[in-house]
Amino acid sequence: MLHNTNFLFLIAITLGYARNCTDNNVAVRTSFAIDYENDQFLLDGTPFRYVSGSFHYFRTPRQYWRDRLRKMRAAGLNAISTYVEWSLHQPELNKWVWDGDADLVEFIKQAQEEDLLVILRLGPYICAERDFGGFPYWLLSLVSDIKLRTNDSRYMEYAEKYLNQVLIRVKPLLRDNGGPIIMIQVENEYGHFYACDKHYTKRLRDIIKNHVKSDVVLFTTDGIYRPELRCGSIPGVYATIDFGTATNVTENFNLMREIEPKGPLVNSEFYTGWPSYWKGPFQRVETKKIIKMLDEMLSVGASVNFYMFYGGTNFAFTSGADVFDKYAPDITSYDYDAPLTEAGDLTPKYFQIRKTISQYLPLPNIPIPPVSLKGEYGIVQMKSVLRLFDNETRSLFGTKVINSQKALTFEALNVSSWLVLYEANVSSFDISNRSAILQASPKDRAFIYLDDELIGVLSRALKTKSLLLGPTNAKSLQILVENQGRVNFGNVDVEDFKGIFNVTLNDVKISPWNITGFRFNTIFESILTAIKSPTAEMKTLVSGPQILIGHFDVTGVPRDTYLNTAEWGKGAAFVNDRNLGRYWPLVGPQMTLYVPAAYLKEGKNTLVLVELEYVPANRKINFQTIPVLDYYSNRTSNR
């Protein structure tokens, strides 16, 4: 038998042991477990507690992952927490994506290289203020009455495939295998969900355990309400709790003890900020309140995860919506008033948290990165090149026109997001000599046109479902429906189909429909630049949305910047074919869109706007170095 120490060490690595040794060169097995007897975690057999921060890899370009991770480690954190987003990795039924900004394995490896452990929150549902709570839209195209987040076999078939895809990739990265993953969450705040389907949560647990065995700690997290904790808890899975500064630490942890009498105290989501919605104020949480509660939790030995430590951005059409008394769509920015800004800059909140952590854990001996310089790329002159309703626009961005007796949903059309146009002939209604009432239920916002002329807007958020049409000779009715984000949280069913429903004119059903979906996955810059006959309409866009294009130069190495949309109406912006997300300065509070340097290039760059409502007379827009996320006006708007 060989006794060569180096040989034994190589065997230890192969068997999933640590890459570090004791002073006697004896391999120490890496592991993570719960010591119930002493109410603590054990990391490699040693008492341990984590101070973690949430950072979702899908909310920033991968070029910035290491920068954000290093800043989090420099703050004294010893772990990070991330959701895994199903819709990112399976955007279509037969398409999987695991590279680029979706390279989950690379993200986890970078976290380990930055000396951070990883807490993985797989879903399948994640909430996270993301469209549909992270579910892929196509789930709603499978069966009209599918019941998500339950043991419905029509849902579970795909949920299990998704979990298997993730778990196969992350298993080698578990702590027991020498990786950084110490905990995996089963579902997400399930206690809030009405179904309370214990068969469902136990099945998710078993799917995960089939891959990871006992090599990682499985956990749940729920809010500070007994019914939620009881419904969300799963046998054999450690139940944790989440809460923010408006509550009491002692009372909250006493409530957790009702579910978990023994084991470490854990706040899995300690809120540094809060979601913000269009037409509302930008939400902030005072630093002094955070520091006071953080100190209380650390003083009793609790493990804490900051939600969020770095928020990032809901690029493209990935922001979701909440529904309680009304539908409230999330803004594009996910800055979240977090310790690191949307651009990854350090805030006073960051330094106060770091100072508090240093009283309980040793700070790493690494320099704190400086704030990045921003680029001020000035004014861009935009040119209106197409109306959305033009045949050329339809050929570039539209789906094949579908004729249907009913107004099909986005999901039935296989259109994941943003815009669908419904057109019908209404000449048979004969409203040339009398007024008529158009009624419909929009999800989420519907621009109503008669013969290509805007006459009004219906809104789910404002609960406006009817519009008076004066006597008119119009023959064509057009309804442009905007999906503002599928519901990710609230007191309604999660199955949030998009489209226009129950459309009647004077209580008579309208039918048939010609339906066109619009996809802006690619902008066709060269075609838009070559168009020589731009549309002339400015200010309120009575004849329909416009597509505009402009160019700007970047000298030297590109820098992060912000696009100020303040003078515009509502739409989406694209830089070099990258979708920056929705803008809506008419209602606020967000005025600027974050533009990562990773989306820019030295020399000529292209900006495209798809504007739905209002184009300023000068058609100008500008880049600046300072974000504006908190401009809020109580102005009255029917939009």
What backbone phi and psi angles, to 5 degrees, belong to 313? -140, 140
269 tagged catalytic: yes
The H-or-E segment that residue 74 falls in is helix 65-74
Q: Between the CA of residue 466 and those of 61, 62, 218, 261, what are the distances in Å?
A: 42, 45, 49, 55
The 3-state DSSP class for residue 100 equals helix
Buried/exposed code over 159-178 (b: 16+ C-beta within 10 A; e: otherwise)? beebbeebbebbbebbbbbb
Distance CA 216, CA 179 (A): 11
Phi-psi region of 502 (alpha: psi -120 to 50; beta: other; left: phi over 0): left
Distance CA 518, CA 388 (A): 9
The 3-state DSSP class for residue 126 equals coil
CA dihedral in degrees (61, 63, 65, 68; nearest 10)? -100
| Annotated catalytic residue within 114, 129, 187, 189 | 189
Cis check for the bond before 124: say yes or no (omega within 30 of 0).
yes
129 tagged catalytic: no
Distance CA 508, CA 517 (A): 25
Name the token pair of 236: 């054999």
Pairing between β-strand 238-243 and β-strand 217-222 as defined by DSSP bridges: parallel
Give me the residue label for tokens 């104020």: 281
Nearest to 543 by CA among 401, 351, 375, 389: 389
Distance CA 182, CA 33 (A): 8
| Sheet arrangement for strand 620-624 | 378-381, 620-624, 561-564, 592-595
If 0-12 CB within 10 Å is exposed, 13-18 middle and 19+ buried, where does residue 31 land? buried
Name the token pair of 433: 């000599």
Distance CA 92, CA 96 (A): 8
Distance CA 237, CA 146 (A): 27
Name the token pair of 456: 């009004």
Q: Between the CA of residue 566 and those of 336, 405, 581, 608, what are the distances in Å?
A: 21, 41, 15, 16
Beta bridge partners of 438: 467, 505
| Annotated catalytic residue within 85, 187, 269, 613 | 269
The answer to whether the beta carbons of residues 76 and 294 sit under 8 Å apart is no
Distance CA 27, CA 299 (A): 33
Print the SS3 string covering 199-218: HHHHHHHHHHHHHHCCCCEE
CA dihedral in degrees (596, 600, 606, 608; nearest 10)? -20
Pairing between β-strand 436-443 and β-strand 499-505 as defined by DSSP bridges: antiparallel
User: Which residues are marked as active site?
Assistant: 189, 269
